Structure formats: C-alpha cells, structure tokens
C-alpha cells in the first residue's frame, strides 16, 4: 500500500516588509525604507573615504619613487661625469707623453 505524499508547505514570501507598529503602514514602511537608505549611504561614504585615502597614498608613494629615482640618476650622473673626466685626463696625459717622445 503506497503512502500518500505530504503536501508541500506554502512559502512565506513577503516582498514588502511593512512594520505593524508605528502608525500607518505606509508611513512605517517609509521610515523603515529611510533607515535602510541611510545605512546604504553611510556605507557608501565609508567606502569612498577609504578609496580616496588609498588613492592619496598611492599618489604619494609614486611621487616619492620618482623623486628618489631622480636623485639616484643625479648622483649616478655626477659619478659618471667625474669618472669620465678622470679618464679624459689620463688619456690626455698619455697623448702628451707620446707626443713628447
């Protein structure tokens, strides 16, 4: 003997959650909706502030790297130019010695 299948329970779907307390249903819904929107606005502001702070940090880091690179290039140029001047002096001395002989 086969058992009869149990009926499925009906889902309780509330698309609009209207609070029962607080007066008129529409006004209470508007207040609840305003609270939700206020929470979303606060969260959005917090995310934007964090993104702005991160962007400023990235810009400062990149500017620091560029300044450091320019300083390194400047020091390297000075060292290379002084080395080149020393080599030129040595070559001039050798040329003068060869011409003198």
Nearest of 1, 5, 3, 29 to residue 15 by alpha carbon: 29
> Which band of pLDDT confidence, cut at 50, 70 and 90, is reported for residue 90?
confident
Nearest of 52, 17, 50, 55 to residue 33 by alpha carbon: 17
The beta strand positions in the chain, using DSSP E, are: none
Q: Given this model, what pLDDT does residue 16 score?
A: 58
pLDDT in tens, 57-85: 999 999 988 888 887 777 777 777 777 88
Q: Is the pLDDT of residue 95 over 70?
A: yes
Nearest of 38, 34, 18 to residue 26 by alpha carbon: 18
């Amino acid at each position: 003997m086969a058992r009869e299948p149990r009926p499925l329970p009906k889902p309780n779907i509330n698309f609009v959650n209207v609070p029962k307390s607080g007066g008129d249903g529409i006004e209470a819904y508007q207040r609840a909706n305003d609270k939700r929107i206020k929470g979303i606005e606060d969260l959005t502001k917090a995310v934007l502030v964090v993104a702005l702070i991160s962007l400023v940090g990235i810009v400062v880091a990149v500017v620091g790297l560029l300044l450091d690179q320019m300083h390194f290039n400047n020091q390297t140029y000075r060292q290379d130019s002084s080395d080149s001047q020393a080599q030129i002096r040595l070559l001039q001395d050798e040329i003068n010695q060869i011409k003198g002989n």
